[in-house]
Amino acid sequence: MLEYLVFLLVVLPVLSAVALLCIKNEGPRKSVVIATGAVLAFCSLALFAGGSFQLRPQSMLGLDPDVLVTGLDFALLAVILGIAVKLKSPLLIALGLLQILPLGYFEYSFARHAAAGPSLAADNLSLIMVLLVGFVGSLVCVYGLGYMKEHEAHLGLKKTRQPRFFFFLVLFLGAMNGLVLSNSLAWVYFFWEATTVCSFALIGHDGTQEARANSVRALWMNMLGGVAFALALIAVYKASGTVLLSDLLAHPGGGASLALLAAFFLLCFAGFTKAAQLPFQSWLCGAMVAPTPVSALLHSSTMVKAGVYLILRLAPAYAGTSLSSLIALFGAFAFLTTAALAIGQSNAKKILAYSTIGNLGVIVACAGINTPASIAAGVMLLIFHAVSKALLFLCVGAIEQRIGSRDIEDMRGLIAVMPRAAALTVAGILTMLLPPFGVLLTKWMAIESAMASPLLVLILALGSALTVVFWTRWAGLLLSAPMPAAGLVAPGAAVQAASMRIPMTLLAYGAVLAGLASPLIYRSLAAPFVSLFYKGAAYDVSAGSFASGAGTFSVYPLFLLLGAGFFYALRLARRLPARSASAPYLCGEQTGDAAGNVFRGPLGPVAATPANLYLSAICGEEVLTRWINVIAMTMLAVMFGGIL
Amino acid sequence: MTSKFLLALALTIAAPFIGGLVTGIDRKITARLQSRYGPPIAQPFYDVLKLLGKDRMVVNMWQALCPVVTLTASALCVFLFGMQADLLLIFFVLTVGGVFLIMGAMAAPSPYSQIGAQRELMQMLAYEPLLILVFVSFSMVTGSFKIADVYAYGRPLLPQLPLMFIVLGYALTIKLRKSPFDIAACHHAHQEIVRGVLTEYSGPNLALIEIAHWFDVALILGLCSLFWSTSALGAATLLAGAYFLELVIDNVTARMTWRFMLQNALGVGLALSVLNIVWQSFNN
Amino acid sequence: MSLTDWINKGRLKSPWVVHFDCGSCNGCDIEVLACLTPLYDVERFGILNIGNPKHADVLVVTGTVNHRNKTVLKNIYDQMPGPKAVIAVGACGLSGGVFREAYNVVGGVDKVIPVDVYVPGCPAKPESIIDGVVKALDVVKTKLGLA
């Protein structure tokens, strides 16, 4: 049974992807994508119901699975090398060779690395990731159906390129499932490279010059991580004689040898590149040239989450070392600086990208703080962030298709044009920003678990204050429209295709309900994982409140009181009589137009064009990025140097 | 537990009266400082009662929605304070109020309200880090973020965190909309770009925001009192002194720009906090 | 006392004023502002010069109404939530004053919006302006049925 579930989760997407590559018609494509998504969601639930497991598949397609994976690994690297040669990029060729050679050495010298032990395993962290891929990832793929139709119509393509798009999109889900279910680092490495190739293909999908350039950047940065990973394989095996994660984590907290610590650093480095941590943030920012479902997938349930997954996964192994505290500082630094960078941005997708990097930074910091409370915070943030961020990306995609811009300044008053999408965006923003929702709960957990280090608390707290600025103003300007004369919703408002609308709505409900269910999520998902590796309970959860020695966060009371206030306010606002509508104040010189911001000037109407303060002299990319990169690289160097 | 709950409830009911009274005394003292006679102490209550009785006038439905949420959040903060809850939690709930106030102001396309909202955001950017630093410094002394532990600590915090009290003073000045930091809107008659962030809120909606402000005043005074939590008399002296100083600063300074506020509040505030926290961690 | 009684008490104790200069020579404007000074200190009566019609209860208009600004006057009046009162201050506000016959002048404030209290003078004295506001409160009282 278990084998079938794992097979369905990892191999079915591959088969579906191949089928999608061959399907040229829309109808069958729709059925295949929806069916695959449904199966993945169902299987992830079934797998979760079964609980944690360890598994050693005996044969696959008549071959020894280890041999198969090794063979596929070399094939994949050959493909990457082929891409590198085709692009005539010496850097990529070098990075490709730097992976093939160590891997060859590894497989040749330590051929028996897989001789014993389960190559697949899952505990709660893996199962959470599988659930995220199964639900959030599938919803994003379904959204892609409606989105790509519109997207290609907009581009005016003669021949549809959707088969290629959905091939990689669905393949991505399989690779991600494989990555989180693998117990052998050699297997993780294979899936790791598979996600790199998929993201390269998807980022460059539109084939424009910018898309190509950004996909190449994503490729080389992730290959850098791949090189680190390949070297780590050798280092781990040399230091400990095993590449099985379960063996490496068998003695949590037991002082790892220096060589092993160096190997862990290499793995974390690979995680940093994949999670787009500083100074590698530019590949994720550049990835937004891709069609929106790609961004949504990269940011929420796959790719970047693989990076933090690895770092969180290894956290018990490097607990209590100076590497751990440096990782905490590194993550917190990313959180603070990306919050500042996001303040300087008016490009919605870039704001989301920086916010993603920042939140991943918090997860990295949580892994580095390495207490039961912080690990629980990291695991929970993984969930809440995936749902909210997927929602926000899908909303921005829908908005961009309608208004032709992703600049938040162009989204002013969107509530009158696209009421549903705008309201969902505001909901997504509020779940990212405010209590009692999950993202904020985990931020609270992170700050309080960092209490031993004032510097860390300082950085996290400052970052948290900065995030308020860029979220609030975005939510506010979406609502900036005069009351329509008839009713609350303007006539002729846009409606998205069902395949786009339904995933967005489901994710919004998911984001709110996940916040409401946070005590349950803690008890049934995060706490069991934490207790595997750490002694002592992180939080005492009773009556919907999280309590620890450091403080208390009352989820249910807050939901009850703030929720009651909100719904009372909503009822009040909805029942406003039309006569209470008044034009915005323009010194009595309003022209009475629909936009509500046009002055009667001496020579004709003058529109007031408000704009946000972006503090570009302080928070601009061109001001900050260089310094941030220098500091981040120094921190990486110190981390590495500190071990040696 | 029940007695704590009842106390918190009583505090939540009393808070707007305390806040309103403080505002009334504030206006009276300010008038006297300007050699005017000044309004009656109960003037803020008359103002709010009148506003509650005015016709509703909104630009859109969000303007009616946001003040209610802001008021809920502010009242909840005071309630949490009464429950001696987690300081960080109170901080985050306080953010809810600020965020909805700004969203409601941005929901109106009038340029005055928009500029006011941006400035209010800058104010939040300036006082939020300071407030959170004050809470962090509390936690460093008492070992937890719970207010209950501040009371359980048994000694006044002021001698150990003197600089943090000044930092809280900065946050107080900004949050109470006092000069030189009253850049998003201000009380009293002198206006800021019409009425800044409050321009488009009118009648009952403005009344709700005013009541929310009273709750905030009560909360901030409560936070100040934590610096001398061991003695009621000490706390009262501290509060009276701090508030009077606040009034003097309000009356002797002119309104500055948001750039000045960000540089000054964050620069000085962060420097003082780091000094105090470093000194404190060496002391431990 | 019921809540309505309390609110009515508030209404009489807190008249917030918005001052609109409709084309005055600034004589009356200076006198209006003089009311705020320590000598007259209208805040004693809860009067605030609020500068925003959406917050105001009383509209104080100085100067003649002309064809350019009559819509502005009307808009500002319309943007004041009720209950509200209007005070015309000075000879020009009352009737158009010495500019009454000019080609571009509409006349007094009451040609555009209903005026409750007329405060004469050229310029009107601060005392009489304060008196006008108090009179306006009587008008409000009558409107509320309290007189």
Q: Which of A233-247, B160-174, B222-236 has the lowest mean pLDDT?
A: A233-247
Is the CB of residue C67 less than 8 Å away from at least one CB of chain A?
A: no
Q: Which residue has the tokens 């046009």?
A: A598
Average pLDDT over residues A433-439: 88
Task: Sort out which chain A residues have CB atoms less than 8 A from C53's CB and list them.
Answer: 585, 588
Q: Which residue has the tokens 């939540």?
A: B12
pLDDT for A54: 83
CA B281 from chain center: how many Å? Answer: 28
State which residue of chain B sits closest to C55, comparing Cα positions: B202
Q: What angle do CA A437, A438, A443 make, to 5 degrees?
A: 110
Which ipTM value was assigned to this complex?
0.92
Asked if A253 and A535 touch (Cβ cutoff 8 Å), the reply is no
**β-strands A551-554, A598-601 pairing:** unpaired
Q: Is A82 a domain residue?
A: no
CA distance A289 to A455: 36
Q: Do C54 and A587 touch (CB under 8 A)?
A: no
CA distance C39 to chain A (A): 30
CATH of region C14-142: 3.40.50.12280
pLDDT for A487: 46
Q: Is the pLDDT score of A181 beyond 50?
A: yes
* Predicted confidence (pLDDT) per residue in A307-333, tens digit: 999 999 988 888 888 888 899 999 999
pLDDT for B17: 95
Closest by CA to A265, choosing from A303, A311, A306, is A311
Cα separation values, A186 from A116, A179, A230, Å: 13, 10, 9
CA distance B200 to B105: 7
At A601, is the secondary structure helix, strand, or coil? strand
Is the CB of residue B140 less than 8 Å away from at least one CB of chain A?
A: yes
State which residue of chain A sits closest to B147, comparing Cα positions: A551
Spell out the domain ranges in chain C.
14-142
As given in the structure block, the two tokens for residue A320 are 């209590």
Q: Is the pLDDT score of A590 beyond 80?
A: yes
B263 C-beta neighbours (distance < 10 Å), count: 14
DSSP β-bridge partners for residue C107 = C65
A487 φ, ψ to 5°? 70, -175
Q: Which residue has the tokens 């004693």?
A: C44
CA distance A46 to A127: 10
Is the CB of residue C76 less than 8 Å away from at least one CB of chain A?
A: yes
CA distance B239 to chain A (A): 26
Q: Is A155 a domain residue?
A: no
**Portion of chain A with pLDDT greater than 90, in percent:** 26
pLDDT for C91: 93
Instruction: Write the residue in C14, C43, C52 that is nearest to B195 by C-beta.
Output: C52
Task: Sort out which chain B residues have CB atoms less than 8 A from C79's CB and list them.
Answer: 57
Q: Which residue has the higher pLDDT, B261 or A250?
A: B261
pLDDT for A234: 87
Is the CB of residue A518 less than 8 Å away from at least one CB of chain B?
A: no
Q: Residue A620: pLDDT band by 50, 70, 90 thresholds?
A: confident
Number of domains chain A is built from: 1
Write the burial class of residue A51 (CB in 10 Å: 0-12 exposed, 13-18 middle, 19+ buried): exposed
Q: Do B106 and A476 touch (CB under 8 A)?
A: yes
CA distance A2 to A52: 11
Residue C15: partners with Cβ closer than 8 Å, 6 or more residues away: C45, C46, C47, C57, C58, C85, C133, C136, C137, C140
Q: Do A596 and B110 touch (CB under 8 A)?
A: yes
* Predicted confidence (pLDDT) per residue in A485-508, tens digit: 544 445 555 567 788 888 889 999
Chains touching C (3+ CB pairs < 8 Å): A, B
* Predicted confidence (pLDDT) per residue in A57-116, tens digit: 776 666 777 788 888 888 888 888 888 888 888 888 888 888 888 888 887 777 665 556
CA distance C59 to A55: 81
* Predicted confidence (pLDDT) per residue in C12-37, tens digit: 889 999 999 988 899 999 999 998 88
CA distance B86 to B73: 15
Please give the single-letter amino acid code of residue A474. W
As given in the structure block, the two tokens for residue A156 are 């005016």
pLDDT for A640: 83
Average pLDDT, chain A: 86
Q: Residue C88: pLDDT band by 50, 70, 90 thresholds?
A: very high
Give residue A505's domain range: 319-574+618-644
Going across the sheet that includes C58-62, the strands are C48-49, C16-21, C58-62, C85-89, C117-119
Q: Which B residues 115-134 touch A at CB under 8 Å?
A: 115, 117-118, 121-122, 124-125, 128-129, 132-133
CA neighbours within 13 Å on the CB side: how many for A491?
A: 2
* Predicted confidence (pLDDT) per residue in B117-135, tens digit: 999 999 999 999 899 889 9
* Predicted confidence (pLDDT) per residue in B83-122, tens digit: 888 899 999 999 999 999 999 999 888 889 999 999 999 9
pLDDT for A254: 55
Ordered DSSP codes for B75-137:
HHHHHHHHTT-BHHHHHHHHHHHHHHHHHHHHTS--HHHHHHHHHHHHHHHHHHHHHHHHHHH
Asked if A546 and A527 touch (Cβ cutoff 8 Å), the reply is no
CA distance A235 to A260: 7
Rg (CA), chain A: 25
Q: Is the pLDDT score of B215 beyond 70?
A: yes
Asked if C69 and C106 touch (Cβ cutoff 8 Å), the reply is no
pLDDT for A252: 60
Q: Is the pLDDT score of B187 beyond 80?
A: no
Q: What angle do CA A525, A526, A531 make, to 5 degrees?
A: 115
Secondary structure E strands in A513-614: 540-542, 545-548, 551-554, 598-601, 604-607
**β-strands A545-548, A540-542 pairing:** antiparallel
Task: Sort out which chain A residues have CB atoms less than 8 A from C82's CB and list them.
Answer: none
Which stretch of DSSP H or E encloses residue A149? helix A138-155
Cα separation values, C64 from A35, C51, C53, C110, Å: 75, 20, 19, 10
Q: Is A386 a domain residue?
A: yes
pLDDT for A255: 60
DSSP β-bridge partners for residue A60 = A63
Closest by CA to C78, choosing from B114, A580, A486, is A580
Is the CB of residue A612 less than 8 Å away from at least one CB of chain B?
A: yes
Is the CB of residue B49 less than 8 Å away from at least one CB of chain C?
A: yes
* Predicted confidence (pLDDT) per residue in A540-583, tens digit: 887 778 888 778 888 888 888 888 888 888 888 888 887 788 88
Size of interface A-B (CB pairs under 8 A): 210
pLDDT for B103: 93
Q: Is A628 a domain residue?
A: yes
Q: Which B residues 170-209 touch A at CB under 8 Å?
A: 194, 199-200
* Residue C125 per-residue DSSP state: P
B160 φ, ψ to 5°? -90, -25
State which residue of chain A sits closest to B87, comparing Cα positions: A551
* Residue A63 per-residue DSSP state: B
CA distance B189 to B43: 14
Q: Is A15 a domain residue?
A: no
CA distance A522 to C31: 67
Mutate one of C21, C79, C80, C113 to test the A interface: name it (highest A CB count within 10 A). Answer: C79
pLDDT for B68: 93
The dihedral through the CA atoms of B273, B278, B279, B283 has a sign that is positive
pLDDT for A115: 57
CA distance C79 to chain A (A): 7
A122 φ, ψ to 5°? -145, 135
Closest by CA to A128, choosing from A529, A408, A642, A491, is A529
Chains touching B (3+ CB pairs < 8 Å): A, C
Write the burial class of residue A498 (CB in 10 Å: 0-12 exposed, 13-18 middle, 19+ buried): exposed
C17 φ, ψ to 5°? -110, 135
Q: Is the pLDDT score of A533 beyond 80?
A: yes
Q: Is the pLDDT score of A429 beyond 60?
A: yes
B73 C-beta neighbours (distance < 10 Å), count: 29
Which stretch of DSSP H or E encloses residue A634? helix A621-643
Chains touching A (3+ CB pairs < 8 Å): B, C
Instruction: Write the residue in C20, C54, C81 that is nearest to A585 by C-beta.
Output: C54
Q: Do C79 and A600 touch (CB under 8 A)?
A: no
CA distance C51 to chain A (A): 10
Q: Is the pLDDT score of A253 beyond 80?
A: no
A629 C-beta neighbours (distance < 10 Å), count: 16
Q: Do C10 and B202 touch (CB under 8 A)?
A: no
pLDDT for B190: 62
Task: Sort out which chain B residues have CB atoms less than 8 A from A483's CB and list them.
Answer: 58-61
Enumerate the H helices of A479-546 as residue ranges: 498-516, 518-521, 527-533
Closest by CA to A561, choosing from B52, B101, B97, is B97
Q: Is A14 a domain residue?
A: no
A618 C-beta neighbours (distance < 10 Å), count: 14
Q: Is A285 a domain residue?
A: no
Average pLDDT over residues A6-15: 87
**β-strands A545-548, A598-601 pairing:** unpaired
CA distance A415 to chain C (A): 24
pLDDT for A486: 45
